[in-house]
Structure 1
Amino acid sequence: MRLIFTSLVSHGHLYPLLPLAVAARDAGHDVLFATGDEMLPVVEKAGLVAESAGFGMHAAFVSFFGPDAEPRATDGPPESFYPVIGEVFGNVLPRRFVADLEPLLERHRPDLVVYESGNAGGAIAARLAGIPAIGHGFGRFSPGEVIDVINGRLAEFAGEVGFEGVELPSFGDPVVDICPESVQAPDFLAGANRIPLRPVSWAEPGDLPAGVAGRDKSRPLIYLTLGTAFGDEGVLKRAIGGLAGIDADVIVAAGPTVDPAGLGDVPGNVRVESWVPQADLLPHADLVVHHGGSGTTLGAFGTGLPQLVLPQGADQFTNAEAVVAAGVGAQLIGADATKDAIHEQARKLLADDAVLGAARKLADEVAAMPSPAEVAQRLPEFAG
């Protein structure tokens, strides 16, 4: 069977699709992955054939609004940017992906398109080509006003190309859901044709920081990251200051948006890296302090780790709420995320048996979800 996978052009949207794409290839299917140029090397490192389609989120903002229009957290209240975000994610990105995917689908004529749920252009392009399609979530489906704005603009674009009254955000397609049911959004569970898939952490191959594998396990290891898109030097500095005062080792992944040198000298129990192989590091950690990105949140769910979430944007706020509701962690938002508050919350989480028990229960739920290999065997069911 011929398959085309397609995702938006970012680590957080692409990585969740790679386990199923690789499993489908290993099952003997002909797999092609279509995403923007910046992510093609990542796909190729996974051993998959890749072709260019779409462009990155920053390029989408700049192409439509100019270089000064991309929202920044310090520019105003989040709701002031909803129209801009709705235009980019509900029109600019889908329109570009449809334009790029149409000739690609014509050349390859796949039996099935697997589109990442944020990439509505993949769903529309498949419909225009008359090819069956399924969605693939990248985490918890997060309802909210900004999603409503995006879906409103997307409905307009879908109507423009001939699809009036489509069911959004899933277009009525089955959806591969990598979020454990107990923490998934109830509204999504109520209406979705859901294909559960165990969230498998994906990271580019690399070595763990020195000393992690053979460390003294009587001393906790705290992993701190703000991810690949929302890194903030000030937040990281406060978090490092708070965590360094705990009798623990701290590993910091600064990410591509923060220069480690800008963090200055750090205490002896803190180690700063530009990047770490997160999937390999999580099993060694005792606590994750992070931004609430879907990949890190789900990775911590699967590893049974307590979480302290410092949300910075996008779906991170609803992910943080889900962490708290599940009893597996705490959140600190905005001005509440002080050095002292981070210290106190992290210290409590490391010692809270109830939180650890809830985290282990959630890890058991994740382990019981179908594997990528199992779901790959089902894909012909959806090809029509």
Structure 2
Amino acid sequence: MKILFVGGNGAGTIFPDVPLAQAARNAGHEVIMTGPEITMSAILGSGIPAVSVTERTIQDCRVNREGVLVPTPAGGPERNIAIGRMFGRLAAHSLDGLLELADRWRPDLVVSNVLAYAGPLVAHHAGVPWVRFATDIGEPLSIDLAAAAELAPEMERLGLTATPPPAFSVTVMPQSVRPPTAPVALPLRHIPCSTQSALEPWMYTKGDRPRVLVSAGSRVTPDDDFELLSGLVEKVAPLDIELLIATPDDVAARLDLPAGARAGWLPVDVLAPTCDVMVHHAGGNITLTCLANGVPQVFVPYLPGLEEHSARIAERGAARLVDPADHGAADIAGAVRDLLEDPSYRAEARRLRDETAAMPTPARVVEELERLAAAHRESTAAK
């Protein structure tokens, strides 16, 4: 069987998909994963064959089809509409590359990241079913609807009047903290994944002090969101902890680090089992990594749309949510102290870890993909 994985817009949206793609390859199937050029290193570094379908990034897609830079509102429904339009434009830029790949390679099945809106269109073009891959983080219906509106010309070109529905959905979010309005989905155990480097002993062992990891995501640059990361580091640094900062190397080089702190492109999936607390921006991949390892979290969701899952996990007692609009050193440091000193947070985080561990493995979900493809073949042959 040939399975085409249509990946997301960046490393954080690629890594949750990787274990399922790896499991499909391990089961003997042919797999190709696509994405923008910016995602190629993350896909290829995971051992998955990859095809770049556009040079554009999601940031490039702030410019509309008329060449006008469209401001993104700070919040409210208008923000989701603007973001959906951006993802729709990224899908439009990706579509020709995907259609060419499908015509040449002829996949039997498409697995599409929920925000990769060209996936359903290429599945329709290829005449095969598609499966929706969700994290249930920052994926509201309003973004889907705005993306579909943006893709109206492409859908008309393919003879569509609406986005083709998936055969089924899968989600890597534990059911107890999924959004109440999320569609029915087959659960899939999240296997933490990240870009790897040669390990040193300190990465998989820890010392006597509590280990706290700070991150503001993989897209931080020296010129973009640097102040957010440096502010988090500054607020956590005075604590009596072992401090790790997961960030691109060029960003790490500019940080004013306290003595003993380590910073750089760290393998967070390896470090997570050794961490006592993680302080981060509420991004999908790091949130899921914490859930899979039973690590209490301090959420500082500076990007709108990331508050909802943060609030659900915090309400469960496995995390603290700090409002990024008015947080100060006392808020961040106090939240970290609470998570370190109150054992109830770790106990609840471990309950979510156990729930994650009980979800079907990627190998079991591959069996569902096999059944779907076989049923489609039988249905096609009977016509």
Answer whether contact 1:206 1:277 (CA < 8 A) is retained. yes
Answer whether contact 1:328 1:358 (CA < 8 A) is retained. yes
Answer whether contact 1:208 1:276 (CA < 8 A) is retained. no
Does 1:379 find its partner at 2:369?
A: yes
* Residue in 2 that maps onto 1:182: 176
Deviations 1:84-109 (A, max 9, x none): 4232223x122222222112111111
Q: Give the aligned residue type for 1:373.
A: A
Ranges in structure 2 where 5+ consecutive residues have no aligned partner:
377-383
* Residue in 2 that maps onto 1:52: 52
* Residue in 2 that maps onto 1:195: 186
Does 1:272 find its partner at 2:263?
A: yes
Distance 2:170 2:26 in 1: 18
Quick one: structure 1 residues 333 and 151, their matched pair in 2 at CA, closer, same or farther if it must change by over 3 Å? Answer: farther
Quick one: structure 1 residues 287 and 208, their matched pair in 2 at CA, closer, same or farther if it must change by over 3 Å? Answer: farther
* Residue in 1 that maps onto 2:9: 9
Quick one: structure 1 residues 145 and 126, their matched pair in 2 at CA, closer, same or farther if it must change by over 3 Å? Answer: closer
Answer whether contact 2:74 2:304 (CA < 8 A) is retained. no
Distance 1:97 1:86 in 2: 15
- Further displaced range: 369-378 or 314-323: 314-323
* Residue in 2 that maps onto 1:240: 233
Deviations 1:230-254 (A, max 9, x none): 5622222232222222221110113
CA positional deviation for 1:52 = 2.0
TM-score (norm 2): 0.88
Distance 1:310 1:27 in 2: 39
Q: Give the aligned residue type for 1:132.
A: P
Distance 1:64 1:31 in 2: 32
Does 1:86 find its partner at 2:87?
A: no
Percentage of matched positions with identical amino acids:
27
CA positional deviation for 1:199 = 0.6
Distance 1:354 1:156 in 2: 52
Distance 1:98 1:147 in 2: 17
SS in 1 for 2:84: helix
Answer whether contact 1:251 1:271 (CA < 8 A) is retained. yes
Does 1:296 find its partner at 2:297?
A: no
CA positional deviation for 1:82 = 4.6
TM-score (norm 1): 0.87
CA positional deviation for 1:53 = 1.4
Answer whether contact 2:177 2:309 (CA < 8 A) is retained. no
Q: Give the aligned residue type for 1:180.
A: P
Distance 2:175 2:120 in 1: 24
* Residue in 2 that maps onto 1:323: 313
How do 1:90-101 residues align onto structure 2 when only pairs under 5 Å count? 90=88, 92-101=89-98
* Residue in 1 that maps onto 2:255: 263
CA positional deviation for 1:17 = 1.1
Deviations 1:161-208 (A, max 9, x none): 4333547xxx243112111111111111xx42x221101111122134
Distance 1:233 1:177 in 2: 31
- Further displaced range: 20-29 or 321-330: 321-330
Q: Give the aligned residue type for 1:250.
A: L
Q: Give the aligned residue type for 2:13.
A: H
How do 1:1-384 residues align onto structure 2 when only pairs under 5 Å count? 1-54=1-54, 55-62=56-63, 64=65, 69=70, 71=72, 77-79=74-76, 81-90=79-88, 92-140=89-137, 142-143=139-140, 149-150=146-147, 152-154=149-151, 158=155, 161-166=158-163, 171-188=165-182, 191-192=183-184, 194-208=185-199, 211-216=202-207, 218-229=208-219, 232-255=225-248, 259-264=251-256, 266-273=257-264, 275-383=265-373, 384=376
- Further displaced range: 207-216 or 300-309: 207-216
SS in 2 for 1:300: helix
Quick one: structure 1 residues 52 and 238, their matched pair in 2 at CA, closer, same or farther if it must change by over 3 Å? Answer: closer
CA positional deviation for 1:141 = 6.0
Distance 2:246 2:328 in 1: 19
Q: Give the aligned residue type for 1:87.
A: R
- Further displaced range: 108-117 or 333-342: 333-342
CA positional deviation for 1:11 = 0.5
Distance 1:2 1:45 in 2: 21
- Further displaced range: 39-48 or 363-372: 39-48
SS in 1 for 2:132: strand
Distance 2:200 2:75 in 1: 36
Distance 1:367 1:379 in 2: 21
Ranges in structure 1 where 5+ consecutive residues have no aligned partner:
none
SS in 1 for 2:243: strand
Distance 2:335 2:68 in 1: 39
Quick one: structure 1 residues 213 and 82, their matched pair in 2 at CA, closer, same or farther if it must change by over 3 Å? Answer: closer
Distance 1:117 1:142 in 2: 7
CA positional deviation for 1:282 = 0.4
Answer whether contact 1:224 1:288 (CA < 8 A) is retained. yes
